[in-house]
A and B are shown apart, each in its own frame.
Chain A
Amino acid sequence: MIDWCEKCEEMMQPFLDGALSADEVAKAEKHLETCHWCSKRYRFEERLRHYVRIAVSEPMSPELKAKLAALRTPLN
């Protein structure tokens, strides 16, 4: 017998990456509709990815920006 929660956990990353086949997506969605436990974890993963992206984003310093601009070929 298939443990659908286990299967759903395996499919989570490719599901959120849009890398599953239409058939697999349908299977995952069917399980997620009825499984609160898994759907909560899918939503968490989506939020986590967004949160990580923001947390590790560090803006470039104006000094570096100026250095890069100075590398341009001078206009004659």
Chain B
Amino acid sequence: MSESTPTAADSRRLAEEARARVRFEEEALELSDQVYRVARRLVGTREEAEDLVQQTYERAFRSWRQYTPGTNLRAWLLRILTNLNIDRGRRQQRAPQTASLDTEAGDYFLYNTLEAQGENTDEERVLERLSQDSIVDALADVPHDFRDVLVLVDIGDFSYADAAQILDIPIGTVMSRLHRGRRILKKNLADSVVPTT
């Protein structure tokens, strides 16, 4: 038998690796809806989100060996995605990072504003005064550092710890940006109901 002939052990190893790869790709693809949902709100347009998700999967499938089985694959994919998004220079970002934050309102501000708009103060009825478009726009107008955290935690359902790992920032920063981001979002929503002059 020549040295180049694969041994039975080699063949088994290759077959195992092929199976592990297929398993990885299937698991990653099962998460694609969730990955897209987050991507769509990290960037301004559907086209950008689609490009970003496609690039993420291309990169993930190339570097699949770097993923540690048993760890959070969704967070691993989002880490790739947010890095790619930063590499792209966050083109066409709607909200400048220098957006004025000094108008930040408290957590009850939105409810108080909406409540003042009508007679029915039932929470559900008050909420219906917000349109879907106004919510999408209000989120898009949150400065991206705050929005990234907001989207990962409140839309993507990631923990503070996962968001910290994905964005490579301390957990305390995740918490402060999240709290502030939610307040900015609510201020934007309140402004959509009562346009400021």
Contacts and interface: CB of A to CB of B under 8 A. Distances in A.
Interface of A: 9-10, 12-14, 17, 19, 40-41, 43-45, 47-49, 51-53, 55-61, 64-65, 67-69, 71-73, 75-76
Interface in B149-197: 154-155, 160, 175, 178-179, 182, 185-186
B1 to A, nearest CB: 23
Give the 6 A-B CB pairs with smallest separation, nearest first: A60-B36, A55-B135, A44-B123, A55-B132, A44-B111, A72-B25
Given A19-B175, A51-B130, A52-B154, A73 B25 contact: yes
Given A47-B123, A48-B127, A53-B155, A68 B54 contact: yes
B37 interface: yes
B54 A73 contact: no
Contacts, number: 95
Interface in B104-143: 106-108, 110-111, 121, 123-124, 126-127, 130, 132, 135-136, 139
Q: Dominant SS at the A interface?
A: helix
Interface in B32-68: 32-33, 36-37, 40-41, 46, 50, 53-54, 57-58, 61
Contact of A73 (B46, B61, B121, B136): B61
A44 B126 contact: yes
A43 B127 CA distance: 11
Contacts of B61: 71-73
Contacts of A56: 40-41, 135-136, 139, 155
Contacts of B178: 13
Nearest to B50: A64
Contact of A68 (B32, B37, B127, B136): B32
Given A56-B135, A64-B54, A73-B61, 4 more contacts: A51-B127, A59-B33, A67-B54, A73-B21
Given A64-B36, A73-B22, A51 B135 contact: yes
Contacts of B110: 48
B107 A12 contact: yes
Contacts of A58: 37, 40, 46
B132 to A, nearest CB: 5
A56 B40 CA distance: 9
Contacts of B155: 52-53, 56-57
